Amino acid sequence: MHFIGVDLAWGERSPTGVAVLDGDGVLRQVSAAQRDEEIAAAVAPYLDGACVVAFDAPLVVPNATGSRPAEAALNRDFARFDAGAHPVNTSRPELAGTLRASRLASGLGLDIDPASRAPRRALEVYPHPATVALFRLGRTLKYKARTGRPTASMREELLALTRHLEGLVDAPVPMRLGEHGGWRDLVAQVRAATRKSELRRVEDQVDAVICAYVALFAERRPDAVTTYGDLEGGYIVTPTLPPDLLPTPRRPRSPVTSPVTSPVTSPVTSPVTSPVTSPVQAYAALQPELREATEAYVRLVTTLLDDAGINYLSVTGRTKSVASFAAKAARSLDGRPVFTDPLRQITDQIGVRVITYLHSDVTAVADLLGDQLHVLDDRDLGQETASEGRFGYASRHLMIAVGDDRHGGESLPALGDRQAQVQVRTVLQHAWAEFEHAIRYKGTVPEEDVPDLDRRFTLAAGLLELADREFTLISDRLQHTVVGRAEEDATDPRIGAQDLATFLAAQYSEAGWSREDHYAWVSGLLLELGITSLDELAGLLTSVDSAAINARMGYQYPPGAVRRLDDALLAIFGARYLALHGNAHREELLRARLERLRAPAGA
Outline where DSSP puts E strands in 320-430.
Answer: 332-333, 336-337, 350-356, 374-380, 396-401, 420-426
pLDDT tens, position by position, 68-103: 999 989 998 998 888 988 888 888 778 888 899 999
pLDDT of residue 254: 39
DSSP 373: S
Mean pLDDT value of segment 493-513: 83
pTM above 0.85, yes or no: no
* 223 torsion bin: left (phi>0), alpha (psi -120 to 50), beta (else): alpha
- Find the length of the chain: 603
Question: Strand 16-21 vs strand 27-33: parallel, antiparallel, or unpaired?
Answer: antiparallel
Res. 201 pLDDT band, cuts 50 70 90: confident
d(C-alpha 409, C-alpha 417), whole Å: 19
DSSP 333: E
Between these two residues, 510 and 541, which has the higher pLDDT value? 541
Lowest mean pLDDT among 157-171, 192-206, 234-248, 468-482: 468-482
Between these two residues, 493 and 62, which has the higher pLDDT value? 62
Q: Which residues contact 508 (CB under 8 A, 6 or more apart)?
A: 546, 561, 564, 565
d(C-alpha 49, C-alpha 512), whole Å: 50
Helix then strand then coil, in percent of the chain rounded to 5, is 50, 15, 35
- Find, among 383, 476, 511, 510, the residue nearest to 89 by Cα: 383
pLDDT tens, position by position, 11-28: 888 899 999 999 999 999
SS3 405: coil
d(C-alpha 137, C-alpha 139), whole Å: 5
Q: Which residues contact 360 (CB under 8 A, 6 or more apart)?
A: 472, 512, 558
Q: Which of 261-275, 482-496, 581-595 tops mean pLDDT?
A: 581-595
DSSP 106-122: HHTT-B--TT---SEEE
Between these two residues, 439 and 393, which has the higher pLDDT value? 393
Average pLDDT, the chain: 83
Q: Does the pLDDT at position 473 exceed 80?
A: no
As a three-state string, the secondary structure of 188-200 is HHHHHCCCHHHHH
pLDDT tens, position by position, 46-57: 998 999 999 999
Outline where DSSP puts E strands in 358-395.
Answer: 374-380
